[in-house]
């Protein structure tokens, strides 16, 4: 028996598909951009799991301001660094995070800051939020990169888990030099991290005015540093 002829997409259907793809890309490109970066080395698994459940706060915080585009970045293992596409849906972001397992390795904060500057050069990134507990790199290099971020108007929000003093000193310097802010949290208080993520998202979507409209302590903490 002869096989039926295969169905081929018409030229009009192909053009319609391409136009829809362009429209989606243009829509995402116009959204305020926030880079969400997490240390995914071995010690970070509990906090990674926590952040996976709380990341929705970034989208919820901006629902009355503007749609937010978020890029997930993380490093782990031996020189592994990953950056997702720009996502406008919390379900997509959660799905990507759920597939990641933390692995032993050294911090790559300098690599992250350079990546953020490259992305900012393509299309402005309103804020970079970083969650980590350690710093194993040259503080001078990180401070230089942070200063460059400040000149580019790319504020870095450094959220530290724990009390490691070397990391704290460097994280505070990175936040200050980039015109961002620093805060500490611990895994026993998920609400603190959720509030911090929501506050940064509000800032990314609507600037200082949106942050001033929030009444939580996290917003006040970040706003106080941004004014200095």
- The pLDDT assigned to 186 comes to 83
> Is residue 3 one of the residues assigned to a domain?
no
Separation between Cα atoms, residue 7 and residue 137, nearest integer Å: 57
> Is residue 215 one of the residues assigned to a domain?
yes
- The pLDDT assigned to 129 comes to 97
pLDDT for residue 9 is more than 70: no
Domain that holds residue 86: 38-227
pLDDT for residue 28 is more than 50: no
- The pLDDT assigned to 122 comes to 96
- The pLDDT assigned to 27 comes to 41
Please count the structural domains in the chain: 1
pLDDT band at 23 (very low <50, low <70, confident <90, very high): very low
Pairing of strands 69-76, 80-83: antiparallel
Separation between Cα atoms, residue 36 and residue 38, nearest integer Å: 7
Segment 44-60 mean pLDDT: 89
Per-residue HEC secondary structure of 42-61 comes to HHHHHHHHHHHHHCHHHHHC
**In terms of residues, how long is the chain?**
228
**Which of 63-67, 91-95, 222-226 is least confident?**
63-67
**What average pLDDT is seen over the chain?**
89
DSSP 79-91: TEEEE---B--HH
- The pLDDT assigned to 91 comes to 92
> Is residue 30 one of the residues assigned to a domain?
no
pLDDT for residue 202 is more than 60: yes
Contact indicator for 58, 200 with CB cutoff of 8 Å: yes
* CATH number of the structural domain spanning residue 207: 3.40.50.410
- The pLDDT assigned to 180 comes to 97
> Is residue 25 one of the residues assigned to a domain?
no
> Is residue 70 one of the residues assigned to a domain?
yes
Contact indicator for 168, 183 with CB cutoff of 8 Å: no
- Beta-bridge partners for 73: 37, 83
Segment 20-33 mean pLDDT: 58
> Is residue 52 one of the residues assigned to a domain?
yes
Q: What is the pTM for the complete model shown?
A: 0.86
DSSP 4: P
Higher per-residue confidence, 97 vs 25: 97
């Amino acid at each position: 028996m002869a096989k039926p002829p295969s169905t081929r997409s018409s030229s009009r259907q192909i053009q319609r598909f391409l136009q829809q793809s362009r429209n989606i890309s243009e829509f995402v490109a116009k959204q305020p951009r926030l880079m969400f970066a997490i240390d995914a080395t071995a010690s970070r698994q509990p906090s990674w799991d926590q952040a996976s459940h709380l990341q929705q706060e970034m989208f919820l915080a901006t629902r009355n301001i503007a749609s937010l585009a978020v890029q997930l970045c993380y490093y782990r293992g031996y020189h592994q660094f990953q950056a997702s596409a720009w996502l406008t849906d919390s379900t997509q972001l959660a799905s990507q995070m759920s597939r990641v397992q933390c692995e032993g390795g050294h911090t790559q904060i300098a690599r992250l800051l350079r990546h953020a500057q490259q992305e900012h050069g393509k299309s402005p990134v309103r804020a970079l939020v970083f969650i980590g507990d350690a710093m194993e790199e040259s503080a001078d290099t990180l401070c230089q990169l942070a200063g460059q971020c400040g000149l580019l108007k790319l504020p870095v929000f450094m959220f530290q888990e724990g009390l490691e003093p070397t990391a704290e000193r460097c994280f505070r310097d990175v936040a200050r030099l980039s015109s961002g802010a620093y805060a500490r949290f611990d895994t026993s208080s998920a609400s603190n991290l959720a509030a911090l993520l929501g506050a940064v998202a509000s800032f990314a979507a609507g600037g200082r005015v949106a942050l001033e409209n929030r009444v939580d302590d996290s917003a006040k903490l970040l706003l106080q540093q941004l004014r200095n």
